[in-house]
Amino acid sequence: MGSQDNCRNMGCFDEQNNIISHLSGFLSIDFPLNKTDKEIFNVKKEGKFGCVNRNGDVIIPFEYDDVLKNSFDLVSVKKNGKWGVLSTDNEVVIPIEYEDVTLPIMYGQKHFWVKRIDGLYYHYNLITNQLSVVGYKNVTNFKDGFSFVTPPSIKVADNQVNNSQYFSPNTPITTIKKFNKSESKMNFGYVIDENDNYVFDLPVSEIYYEAIKSELTKFDGRIPTASEKKRILLEVTKTNRSYGLNSIISEDDWDY
């Protein structure tokens, strides 16, 4: 298939540079995001967006203010200022009533985030068709059964364990000691599972989320105890922490 640029306000061409007449003449056209996605193309016609297949058959009607390209066989659509998600067969996956919806990151995804009018993201569970009660200001897509979330108000204590998380592992201690965290935009949060349980409710920076998640997978679905969570955090941050002989170590900085 030719590039997107070959299809704007002119003919659309395939890999052999042959014109695809059914996909030509639209005001704009976008191709599926992934090579193995179903071939439906979001196009603009007479001021409205919809989706057609390679033969020009209308799959998603031209009644939307915006349509994003097919991603893992799901299409995000906008109507009357609200977003939702449709399947490539024009079935409603997520109702068109949210300020924003997250794009899928794999085929068959059942867990999404949608933004409500309060500006927070809520977990939309396709298995239960339910929306979570708790909303978050920042989220990541669910992967391996977990998501990194930031509540509207999260308290990050001023201690070495937390301060070490502003840096990648093995950062020189001298660099860390010079750091002014008030100048940082580092995001901290917690880890939840697909059932909206907090599986790790100690502050974790976005740098250390993957390391924490890797440790959580070792518990085979069991939520770690408070002491186990603390040991995990101490372990993944150990290369960025150093205490002098006369230091008084707080309860947050040592395992007991």
Determine whether 249 is exposed, middle or buried from the number of CB atoms within 10 Å of its CB (0-12, 13-18, 19+): exposed
Residue 10: predicted pLDDT: 46
Beta-strand runs (E) in the chain = 28-30, 40-45, 48-53, 58-64, 66-67, 74-79, 82-87, 92-98, 100-101, 111-115, 121-125, 130-131, 138-139, 146-150, 188-193, 198-205
SS3 category, 138: strand
Model confidence pLDDT, tens digit, residues 207-231: 999 999 999 999 999 999 999 999 9
pLDDT averaged over the chain?
87
Q: In whole angstroms, give the CA distance from residue 205 to residue 212.
A: 10
**Residues 120 and 136: beta-carbon distance below 8 Å:** yes
Residue 174: predicted pLDDT: 87
Q: What is the mean pLDDT of residues 228-254?
A: 75
What percent of the chain is modeled with pLDDT above 70?
A: 84
Model confidence pLDDT, tens digit, residues 110-137: 999 999 999 999 999 999 999 999 999 9
Model confidence pLDDT, tens digit, residues 14-53: 555 555 556 656 667 788 889 999 999 888 888 899 999 9
- Token duo for residue 86: 């449709």
- Token duo for residue 255: 């395992």
Do you know the residue count of the chain? 256
Q: What is the mean pLDDT of residues 176-191?
A: 90
Note the pTM of the prediction, 2 decimals: 0.85
Residue 3: predicted pLDDT: 39
What percent of the chain is modeled with pLDDT above 90?
A: 67
Per-residue pLDDT band for 253 (boundaries 50, 70, 90) equals: low
Q: What is the largest CA-CA distance in the chain?
A: 78
Strands 74-79 and 58-64: unpaired
Strands 111-115 and 121-125: antiparallel
Is pLDDT above 50 for 6?
Answer: no
